[in-house]
Structure 1
Amino acid sequence: MYTLNSKQPVPVYPLEQNNATGNNSFSIVHSEGALVYEENLLIPHRKAHYMLVFVKHNRGRHWVDMTAYERKDNALYFTAPHQILVKEAATPFWGTYLTFTNEFLALQQNAALRELPLIQNPHNGHELLLTAADMSFAEELLTRIEVEHNRPGEWQHRMLTAYLTVLLTYLSRLYTEQFPGNEPSADQRLLRTYRAKVEECFRELHEVGAYAALLHISAGHLSEVVKAQSGRPAIKHLHERLVLEAKRLLLYTPLSLKELAFDLGFSDASYFNRFFKRETGITPAEFRTTIRKMYQ
């Protein structure tokens, strides 16, 4: 397995924009023996999106963080944004790649999808074994999703959400059957509790120390556990939640940037502007213009 040297940052691959639809938050690609997306996958990398790989037939081994998976036929392999991934060799692939971003899940009609076990992945698993019936069911839905994805129009997003809800709900049931699970550890429970508190208080509390006080633990302990369990600093979870809500408001509301900043607990609109650009690479105004063009 190829590894990066200490001077090389781990590359992060965004979801490429579909030239036909202009969509860069959701994609589906079907392969009949091609080497799909193989160019840069043989070095450790991260994806900036969720990825579900439905394998009809494929051989080889890949790694998710520090776990190796020998690929099996009739299986689903799935990962969340920013995990470190690497394949050991490029091999022909028969199956379907389904990918979507946090921004796609942040859309109001998709919000419930975030709570499904397959997306939450409490057991940190990345492989589901599918029966012939399971694969047939998934392939039928994937075909419908692909047709809808290539058919932009007023009803496209509603139809994609409907099909994706059925698919991910079905897969989540399989997930709970294949990962019946031991009780989560104390550290896993703390991570869940922290995320729940962030969801509850992200508008009012912008410092990790404030959440530590709510949980009656030290900020250092909270930061250490969250980083160990999730791979990301505690403050990053909070910043991502703020950015998600900002994007939601920028898309769905006419709030001015000053009003939006105040709604999210920022006392100064210019600071909110700098915060958003630091986290996303673009200003709130640029994001609003881009996202509204995409979903109009």
Structure 2
Amino acid sequence: MVKNGQPEIASLPYRAGVGAPPGVEVVDFAGLAARAAGHGVDPWSLQRPEFHKLIAVRSGTLRCSLDFTEHELRPGSWLWVRPGQVHRYDSDLRRAKGRVVLFLSGFLDGATAEIAGVDRVPALPSVEVGDDSAWPVLDLVDAAYVEWAERPAEIQVELLRHLLAVLVLRLALASGDVPRPVDDAFRRFHAAVERDFTRTHRVADYAAELGYSVRTLTRATQAAVGCGAKRFIEERVLLEAKRLLTHTDLPAAAVGQRVGFPDATAFTKFFRQHADQTPSDFRRHGS
């Protein structure tokens, strides 16, 4: 869909390949382009994937953007794209060699997902990491994926699950950004904010919905991410507003409506308070 000359951000659901194990897939760059075409997706369009992408470059150079940052991935580079981030390939996938691991968060066991920060909050961005120790693990993941149809499915699924766990833990260590432990109150709050931040920005509304007090949510959020519940909601709203201002030509008032503000004045006041500039200035100059 095109809006005012610039494409809207397309949500990209996970579609398992034919004969692929449930919840994980490993493809090379040329295969990714073919896979996208088979699903009617332009791989060079703006995408908001609903799954994880681990992009690993073996040779050549791959340029891509992630939210507000341009990345030039050279041999040995990795980039972790998380669900909900805005991503686009900016160079020909066939001019570099490497692998992309696509997986759903639920494919990993809960303990691994938490320790590795697989479902970390949107305010913690993905970063490019360089780590030679992850490459042998990727080779093992790729080999297990290729052998998927040749051995008992139950064994292969568990093998892939465990190998992927090792891979994401290696990358989490390489990034140097180990997340804090979180409790059930924050997990539920985080999920509710992701679902409803365009509808309400009030901590009291989430507390009433989830059956917690405002104080409990504030304490849980402070322990998990180092800020209060109100700030957590505001940061999520701000992130989405910046994504829309950067990647679409929607008028600022329409962006404000998309993220839950009743009018342009309220949105501009919020944006200026939290970003130290107006939405129009951010669009012109970036963060």
Question: Given the two structures, how large is their TM-score scaled by the length of structure 1?
Answer: 0.57
Alignment partner, residue 145 of structure 1: 144
**Bigger mean CA offset, 30-39 vs 47-56:** 30-39
Retained in 1: the 8 A contact 2:105–2:119?
Answer: no
Distance in 2 (CA, whole Å) between partners of 1:215 and 1:205 is: 7
CA spacing shift, 1:148–1:113, aligned 2, 3 Å: farther
Which residue of structure 1 aligns with residue 98 of structure 2? Answer: 95
The residue identity in structure 1 corresponding to 2:72 is E
Measure the CA separation in 2 of the matches of 1:231 and 1:121.
Answer: 19
User: Equivalent residue for 1:126?
Assistant: 127
The 3 A distance-change label for structure 1 pair 160 and 206 is farther
CA deviation string 1:62-101 (max 9, x = no partner): 1100011012111111111111111223242311111111
Corresponding residue SS for 2:118: helix
Cα deviation, 1:245-288, whole Å, max 9, x if unaligned, reads: xxxxxxxxxxxxxxxxxxxxxxxxxxxxxxxxxxxxxxxxxxxx
Per-residue displacement from partner, 1:179-236 (whole Å, max 9, x unpaired)? 59xxx9xxxx9xx87x75233789996627945342459976553234336889xxxx
- Name the counterpart of 1:43: 45
Task: Tell me the distance in 2 between the aligned counterparts of 1:9 and 1:96.
Answer: 27
Quick one: distance in 2 between partners of 1:118 and 1:4? 35
C-alpha distance in 2 between matches for 1:229 and 1:9: 16
- Aligned pair in 2 of structure 1 residues 161, 73: CA closer, same or farther (>3 Å)? same
Q: In 2, are the aligned partners of 1:63 and 1:69 still within 8 Å (CA)?
A: yes
Residue of structure 1 equivalent to 2:237 = 227
Please name the residue that 1:294 is paired with: none
Residue 275 of structure 1 corresponds to: none
Q: What is the match of residue 29 of structure 1?
A: 27
Distance 2:105 2:3 in 1: 27
Could you tell me which amino acid in structure 1 is paired with residue 60 of structure 2? N
Cα drift, residue 142 of structure 1? 2.7
RMSD: 4.0
CA distance in 1, matches of 2:10, 2:47: 5
Classify the secondary structure of the residue corresponding to 2:113. Answer: helix
CA 153–220 in structure 1, closer or farther in 2 if over 3 Å, else same: closer
Which residues in structure 2 correspond to 1:195-214 (within 5 Å)? 197-199=185-187, 207=209, 210=212, 212-214=214-216
- Stretches of structure 2 lacking an aligned partner (at least 5 in a row): 193-205, 220-227, 243-287
Q: Give the aligned residue type for 1:98.
A: V
CA positional deviation for 1:117:
3.3
Q: Which stretch shows the higher mean deviation, 74-83 or 195-204? A: 195-204
Of all paired residues, the percent bearing the same amino acid is: 18
Q: Tell me the CA shift for residue 120 of structure 1.
A: 4.8
SS across alignment from 2:126:
coil
Partner Cα separation in structure 1 for residue 80 and residue 13 of structure 2: 16
CA contact (8 A) 2:11 2:47 kept: yes
Aligned equivalents of 2:229, 2:186: Cα separation in 1: 14
Letter in 2 for 1:146: Y
Whether 2:174 is the aligned partner of 1:174: answer: yes
Question: Quick check: 2:144–2:156 contact (8 Å CA) kept in 1?
Answer: no
Return the alpha-carbon distance in structure 1 between the equivalents of residues 240 and 160 of structure 2. Answer: 29
* Change in CA separation of 1:172 and 1:58 when aligned onto 2, cut-off 3 Å: same
Query: Gapped runs of 5+ residues in structure 1?
Result: 233-296
| Secondary structure of 1:119 counterpart | coil
CA contact (8 A) 1:53 1:77 kept: yes
State the partner residue of 2:17: 18
Q: How many residues align?
A: 211
Deviations 1:140-167 (A, max 9, x none): 3233332343445222222112212222
Aligned to 1:261: none
Q: Which residue of 2 aligns with 1:80?
A: 82
TM-score by length of 2: 0.58
The amino acid of 2:163's aligned partner reads Y
How far apart in 1 are the matches of 2:12 and 2:52? 11
The aligned counterpart of 1:159 is: 159
Partner secondary structure for residue 158 of structure 2: helix
| SS of the residue 1:113 aligns to | helix
